Amino acid sequence: MLDLNEAQRQIRARLPQLAAETVPLSESNGRILARDVLAGIDLPPADNSSVDGYAVRSSDLALASAERAAGFKVAATVPAGAVSNEALVAGACARVFTGSYLPEGADAVVMQEDTRREGDTAYFSVRVKPWQNVRLRGEDVRSGAKVLAAGLRMQARHLGVLAGTGQTETEVGCRPRVALLATGRELQAPGTALRPGSIYESNRIVLAEAVRAVNGVPLTIPPVADELEAIATSLRQLAEDHDVLITTGGVSVGDHDLIRPAMEALGGTIRFWRVRMRPGKPFLFGEVLGKPLFGLPGNPVSAITSFVYLVRPALLVMQGASDTAGPRACGRLTRAVENRAGRPHFLRVSVGRDGSVCPVGLQGSHAIYGLSQADGWLRVDAGCQLANGQEVTVTLWDC
């Protein structure tokens, strides 16, 4: 049985890297940047006004005061989006607005609130320092500077700097095509009357969303019974046009646990089986026909827990991600918890608005309603006691 860290490390070492593709900026949110992005221009692209007012040569206003307002000829009007082709001469000013490029010769802007206008003369009752009310060319970012690093998971805020430097598209890791195969004779698709001995199949719909949340394209096929031939046939077909195979069920020690025999029948390799965690122990990782296969336990809580800690990071790494940490929350336990078992326990917990963290729902690995009440997972290491009020970090769902 492998420690979780070691299992994560072994998976990472074996993952194939997906190719990169160029996508429109509007479709790149959440995707993984394939290359560093350098600014193609200065930001701002030119010195410009941060207020509505009058562009001046600051030295011309040395004597302006509330008592003796200085009168200046308004030599030009420069709306945002226009440029003045005349340099500002001594004793003149130019009407400007927020975002107007500064006319040549001007080095400051007097705010409209500190001025009075009479015809084509503007009166200034304040002095201004050089570059006051001016946003300087390149002060935010210089042309050629790295603005985003390869491996970054893009968020809306990153799209802004790309658009602002004039980009329309970006290069990102391709979406992994992920096949989801649920195995178990007892599994019945929802929508039909439940037969004796059966349960409704619920893993694929949860996992499909979890796959989508990390840019994957999930394909689900109807549940497959515990038959070696049927499982092997499905795996062979799915391996053809998918980057990753995920199975649920059939990885324990029962007579009907046939994922491993099916992989062997296809000449696949089992890299490891069983991870020191609860729930999720019977997790399996290997390759079939050159494609990574993640064999998740069938119990719904185990399946999603192993997905969150072992598969989700892998899908991100395949796309080139440099950081696979998901959403987290910090909070304080509202009761003591203890793990007397010999492997880490991933307790399902709620996280209140006030930061209170509390185990929630039935903590069995079959308990899908209990799982539905949890905001996330709290890792409690083997033999560990956490006190009431202790500060903890919770791994949250990202789907």
Site for Mg ion, rule CB under 5 A: 184, 249, 298
Helix (H) / strand (E) containing 55: strand 53-56
Does 306 contact ligand AMP by CB under 6 A?
no
Return d(Cα 225, Cα 223) in angstroms, integer. Answer: 7
Nearer to Mg ion, 184 or 370 (CB): 184
Does 188 contact ligand AMP by CB under 6 A?
no
Return d(Cα 164, Cα 155) in angstroms, integer. Answer: 15
Nearer to ligand AMP, 154 or 187 (CB): 187
Site stretch for ligand AMP (CB under 6 A), options 197-205, 210-218, 227-235, 311-319: 197-205
Site stretch for ligand AMP (CB under 6 A), options 90-98, 173-181, 297-305, 310-318: 297-305
Q: Which of 61, 55, 114, 57 is nearest to 84 (CA)?
A: 55
Site stretch for ligand AMP (CB under 6 A), options 8-16, 46-54, 72-80, 181-189: 181-189
DSSP for residue 176: P
Nearer to Mg ion, 144 or 254 (CB): 254
The residue written with tokens 């990574």 in the block is: 292
The tokens for 268 are 């696949």
From the list Mg ion, ligand AMP, none, partner contacted by residue 260 (C-beta under 5 to 8 A by kind)? none
Among 199, 213, 219, 396, which residue interacts with ligand AMP (rule: CB under 6 A)? 199
Q: Which of residues 88-147 bind ligand AMP (CB under 6 A)?
A: none
Does 300 contact ligand AMP by CB under 6 A?
yes
Tell the smallest beta-carbon distance from residue 361 to ligand AMP (Å).
16
For ligand AMP, how many residues bind (rule: CB under 6 A)?
A: 18
Nearer to ligand AMP, 42 or 201 (CB): 201
Is residue 317 helix, strand or coil?
helix
From the list ligand AMP, Mg ion, none, partner contacted by residue 218 (C-beta under 5 to 8 A by kind)? none
Q: What 3 state SS string does 84-136 have? A: CCCCCCCCEEEEECCCCECCCCCCEEEEHHHEEEECCEEEECCCCCCCCCEEC
Return d(Cα 70, Cα 261) in angstroms, integer. Answer: 91
CB atoms under 10 Å from CB of 127, counted, come to 18
Is residue 42 helix, strand or coil?
coil
For 180-197, letters b (16+ CB in 10 Å) and e give: bbbbbebbbeeeeeeeee
Nearer to ligand AMP, 33 or 211 (CB): 211
Tell the smallest beta-carbon distance from residue 186 to ligand AMP (Å).
5
Pairing of strands 337-338, 385-386: antiparallel
Pairing of strands 199-200, 275-276: unpaired
From the list ligand AMP, Mg ion, none, partner contacted by residue 300 (C-beta under 5 to 8 A by kind)? ligand AMP
Tell the smallest beta-carbon distance from residue 217 to ligand AMP (Å).
20
Q: Is the dihedral of CA 299, 302, 308, 309 positive or negative?
A: negative
Closest residue to ligand AMP, judged by C-beta, is: 298
Tell the smallest beta-carbon distance from residue 185 to Mg ion (Å).
7
Return d(Cα 271, Cα 165) in angstroms, integer. Answer: 46
Does 339 contact ligand AMP by CB under 6 A?
no
Does 250 contact ligand AMP by CB under 6 A?
yes
Residues in the chain: 399
From the list Mg ion, ligand AMP, none, partner contacted by residue 205 (C-beta under 5 to 8 A by kind)? none
Contacts to ligand AMP by CB under 6 A: 182, 184, 186-187, 199, 201-203, 248-250, 252, 254, 297-300, 366
